[in-house]
Amino acid sequence: MEKRYIEDLLNKLNKDYNFNLKYSNNFRMAFSHSSYTNEKRIAKHLNYERLEFLGDAVVELTTSEFLFKKFPNLAEGELTKLRASIVCEKTLVKYALQLNLDKCIFLGKGEEKMGGRSRAALLADIFESFTGAMYLEAGLETVKTFLSNTLFTEVDSFEYLSFVDYKTILQEYVSKIKLGVIEYTVLDSSGPSHLKTFTSAVIIDGKQYGSGTAKTKKESEQLSAKAALEKLDYKEI
């Protein structure tokens, strides 16, 4: 049953991203838990752990490169915090479940009965071991495409706005091109106090250049600054 789920997974990735992944010993190993290899008397080193070791390094490298290129204005400390927010157990488990990796795991009978298939730490490790197997089978560019459509999409979340100061970037850019004075104004606020939303606009030299809606005034201003930078065709965000 697990083999069929792995094959279904690979076929879906092949269809979605034009990959050419095929079921192999590496992919089988990526999903083989030690309880299964022990039960089947398979060599100890043929469980998922070696590929998890490799996949951990591959995920960290590709995430670091992605963030380095996407956020040229972030300092080393900010990049490190952002990477840690993305490559964490919570997000790895989220995408492991989205991809149905839990169904692909070869488990021993005892581990299965104890609910090992839904254990967060294991699911996070399996995401990385699967990535490690993909790296060996198809190379780094395939891994980058895979992560760009899974893990890296986390960067689009509002919670990461705090890592990029669009207001400061806009101020520096507007000053550089001598466009005029920047002002921010709240266009609307609505909802109960615990679920309030704010819509802010950025005004440059009397003209509105962007607006944004978020759960806080600060975030809405950041979004309006981001929209203004896009309108001004600023290339470094």
Return all residues near 87 (Cβ < 8 A) that are at least 6 apart.
Answer: 59, 60, 63, 151
Q: Are 7 and 31 in contact (CB under 8 A)?
A: no
| Alpha-carbon dihedral sign for residues 228, 231, 232, 233 | positive
Per residue in 106-154, pLDDT (tens digit) is 988 888 788 778 899 999 999 999 999 999 999 999 999 999 999 999 8
Whether 56 sits among the annotated catalytic residues: the reply is yes
What local confidence, expressed as pLDDT, does residue 110 receive? Answer: 80
pLDDT for 71 equals 84
Q: According to the annotation, is 16 in a ligand binding site?
A: no
Question: Which one from 56, 102, 137, 219 is the annotated catalytic residue?
Answer: 56
Say how far apart CA 61 and CA 86 lie, in whole Å. Answer: 13
Q: Is 125 annotated as a binding residue?
A: yes
Contact status, residue 152 vs residue 66, Cβ threshold 8 Å: yes
- Each residue's pLDDT tens digit, 193-216: 778 899 999 999 999 999 999 888
pLDDT bin (cut points 50, 70, 90) of residue 163 is: low
Which candidate, 114, 159, 148, 120, places its Cα nearest to that of 17? 148
Choosing from 102, 128, 137, 219, the catalytic residue is 128
Contact status, residue 71 vs residue 82, Cβ threshold 8 Å: yes
Tell me what pLDDT residue 130 has: 98
Question: What's the confidence (pLDDT) of residue 111?
Answer: 83
Res 46: pLDDT? 85
- 188 has binding-site annotation: no
